[in-house]
């Protein structure tokens, strides 16, 4: 392929990468600014947390809906609308006069981000040749890594010097430019799906995911009654089962269950859940170790966390190119094995662990994650028929968000449980005060990080058994859906 043609091919990829960068940057920037927002509005911690919780819940619950809508009406159209909605939502977030308005505007932002997340990989898959798909998808992985590296630093500077509103206003010029670039450079969809939109299925999956993810996100908080936790979780699981039964019989399903008959598609999505679950156990615990136990400042802790996204940034383009040439199951498995090694190293952290050791462990975990993600995404998107790529893209994004929530929930619950257990053990041995607190923290940290390493190994095993990519891709493109003639 000639360079000029290759550059032209990557123009829509860059447009998608810009939207990915903006939405990923927004998430990391907002997390850093929450204390400033709390002080500005004079609200409780449990209230300001809804600035993040509402955003994540809405995105997670609407991804499948937007994915199906994009298959019906065009990936480009949904993506551009999403970019514009996210930009408008950002403007109104900055103009919010109270915390309630900010939360509502964050929900508006979530609608836009959900549209972009559910269509981005589908647009890339549709617009680039199969032989460079991995390289193209690595561009978005790089965009996320750059956002995660710059977000905490940028958010801290903007929130403390200009004001928390600036973290939202910065999205407005980027959003306007990105929307125009997407409109100009993303090709119009060649064909759109037939059939009608499954409103009932969309409502069922929205309610199911809200009922499952919300209690998991609030686990460990005093505001959540234990009985209510189990009631909501049980109701969500029942609702999800009802959704699956309904979709199997629907003529125009929002999620074609037949896609999961493809072993690569099913295994790759399950591996994605395990990957992000392991990653977010680490992401949740590491700041507490650095700030509460080692007593580093938030800025220093942020700098020490950067080796992970930086390592992902370095390896993503290499793994993307390799995914176009080699069987992705080996790349994915090797990546998760590497990540498991980094997490196991993290389980040996102590009060006086050298800085170089922490950097090596986090870099190893970041390299493993970067080696896994692009080949895994390429495997998912390359193993579905073109008319289902919006749905596949949204399924992958849903798995990612569920893995994040599961990771934080498991991390918080395991750490709290083992910390209390260790406190009893060491108290009986005569430890008191700060030494007791430190010993209990290290004990709980050890168990929780070992669990994260085991989850990473589950992702490794799931990646390895998914079968040969090319053979499954050929089957995917030959799939007939007799019970779903309109797909």
SS3 labels along the chain: CCHHHHHHHCHHHHHHHHHHHHHHHHHHHHHHHHHHHHHHHCCCHHHHCHHHHHHHHHHHHHHHHHHHHHHHHCHHHHHHHHHHHHHHHHHHHHCCCCHHHHHHHHHHHHHHHHHHHHHHHHHHHHHCCHHHHHHHHHHHHHHHHHHHHHHHHHHHHHHHHCCCCHHHHCHHHHHHHHHHHHHHHCCCCCCCCCCCCCHHHHHHHHHHHHHHHHHHHCCCCCCCCHHHHHHHHHHHHHHHHHHHHHHHHCCCCCCCHHHHHCHHHHHHHHHHHHHHHHHHHHHHHHHHHHHHHCCCCHHHHHHHHCHHHHHHHHHHHHHHHHHCCCCHHHHHHHHHHHHHHHHHHHCCCCCCCCHHHHHHHHHHHHHHHHHHHHHHHHHHHCCCCHHHHHHHHHHHHHHHHHHHHHHHHHHHHHHHHHHHHHHHHHHHCCCCHHHHHHHHHHHHHHHHHHHHHHHHHHHHHHHHCCCCHHHHHHHHCCCCCCCCCCC
Per-residue confidence at 55, pLDDT binned at 50, 70, 90?
A: confident
Q: Which of 49-53, 106-110, 369-373, 467-471 has the lowest mean pLDDT?
A: 467-471
Q: Is the pLDDT at 90 greater than 70, yes or no?
A: yes
pLDDT single digits (tens) 213-258: 888 777 666 666 788 888 988 999 999 999 989 888 888 788 888 8
Residue 124, pLDDT score: 82
Q: Which of 4-8, 18-22, 277-281, 364-368 has the lowest mean pLDDT?
A: 4-8
Q: Is the pLDDT at 106 greater than 90, yes or no?
A: yes
**What is the pLDDT averaged over residues 330-346?**
93
Per-residue confidence at 345, pLDDT binned at 50, 70, 90?
A: very high
Per-residue confidence at 53, pLDDT binned at 50, 70, 90?
A: confident
Residue 367, pLDDT score: 92
The top-scoring range by mean pLDDT among 159-173, 210-224, 461-475 is 159-173
**What is the pLDDT averaged over residues 26-32?**
74
Residue 10, pLDDT score: 65
55 or 104, which is more confident = 104
Q: Share the mean pLDDT of the chain.
A: 82
Residue 457, pLDDT score: 95
Residue 93, pLDDT score: 95
Per-residue confidence at 478, pLDDT binned at 50, 70, 90?
A: very low
Q: Is the pLDDT at 196 greater than 50, yes or no?
A: yes
Per-residue confidence at 324, pLDDT binned at 50, 70, 90?
A: confident
The top-scoring range by mean pLDDT among 24-33, 92-101, 328-337 is 92-101
Q: Is the pLDDT at 471 greater than 70, yes or no?
A: no
Residue 292, pLDDT score: 79
Per-residue confidence at 82, pLDDT binned at 50, 70, 90?
A: very high
The model's pTM is: 0.78
Residue 103, pLDDT score: 93
Residue 330, pLDDT score: 86
**What is the pLDDT averaged over residues 278-305?**
79
pLDDT single digits (tens) 177-187: 989 988 888 88
The top-scoring range by mean pLDDT among 108-112, 200-204, 221-225, 370-374 is 108-112
Residue 476, pLDDT score: 47
Per-residue confidence at 455, pLDDT binned at 50, 70, 90?
A: very high
């Amino acid at each position: 392929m000639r360079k000029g043609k290759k550059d032209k091919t990557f123009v829509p990829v860059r447009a998608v990468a810009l939207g990915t960068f903006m939405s990923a940057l927004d998430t990391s920037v907002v997390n850093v600014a929450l204390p400033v927002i709390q002080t500005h509005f004079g609200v409780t911690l449990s209230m300001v947390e809804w600035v993040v919780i509402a955003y994540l819940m809405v995105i997670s619950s609407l991804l499948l809906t937007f994915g199906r809508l994009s298959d019906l009406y065009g990936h480009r159209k949904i993506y551009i609308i999403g970019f514009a909605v996210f930009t408008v939502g950002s403007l109104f977030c900055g103009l919010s006069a109270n915390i309630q308005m900010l939360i509502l505007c964050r929900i508006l932002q979530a609608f836009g981000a959900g549209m972009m997340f559910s269509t981005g990989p589908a647009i890339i898959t549709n617009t680039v040749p199969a032989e460079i798909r991995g390289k193209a998808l690595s561009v978005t992985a790089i965009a996320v890594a750059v956002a995660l590296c710059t977000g905490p630093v940028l958010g801290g500077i903007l929130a403390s010097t200009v004001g928390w509103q600036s973290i939202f206003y910065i999205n407005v010029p980027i959003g306007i430019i990105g929307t125009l670039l997407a409109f100009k450079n993303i090709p119009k969809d060649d064909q759109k799906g037939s059939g009608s939109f499954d409103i009932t299925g969309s409502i069922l999956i929205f309610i199911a995911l809200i009922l499952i993810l919300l209690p998991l996100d609030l686990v460990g908080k005093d505001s959540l009654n234990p009985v209510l936790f189990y009631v909501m979780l049980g109701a969500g699981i029942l609702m999800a089962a009802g959704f699956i039964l309904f979709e199997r019989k629907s003529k125009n399903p929002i999620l074609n269950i037949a896609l999961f008959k493809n072993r690569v598609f099913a295994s790759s999505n399950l591996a994605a859940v395990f990957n992000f679950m392991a990653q977010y156990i680490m992401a949740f615990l590491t700041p507490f170790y650095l700030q509460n136990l080692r007593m580093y400042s938030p800025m220093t802790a942020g700098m020490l966390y950067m080796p992970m996204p930086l390592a992902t940034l370095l390896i993503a383009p290499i793994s993307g190119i390799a995914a176009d040439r080699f069987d992705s199951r080996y790349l994915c498995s090797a990546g998760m094995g590497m990540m498991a090694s980094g997490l196991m190293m993290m389980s040996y952290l102590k009060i006086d662990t050298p800085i170089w050791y922490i950097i090596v462990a986090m870099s190893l975990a970041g390299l493993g994650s970067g080696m896994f993600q692009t080949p895994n995404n390429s495997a998912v998107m390359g193993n579905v028929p073109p008319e289902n790529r919006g749905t596949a893209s949204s399924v992958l994004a849903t798995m990612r968000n569920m893995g994040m929530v599961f990771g934080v929930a498991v991390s918080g619950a395991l750490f709290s449980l083992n910390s209390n257990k260790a406190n009893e053990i060491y108290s009986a041995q005569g430890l008191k005060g700060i030494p007791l607190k430190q010993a209990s923290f290290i004990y709980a940290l050890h168990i929780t990080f070992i669990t994260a390493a085991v989850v990473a190994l589950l992702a490794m095993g799931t990646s390895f058994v998914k079968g040969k990519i090319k053979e499954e891709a050929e089957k995917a493109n030959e799939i007939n859906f007799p019970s779903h003639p309109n797909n």
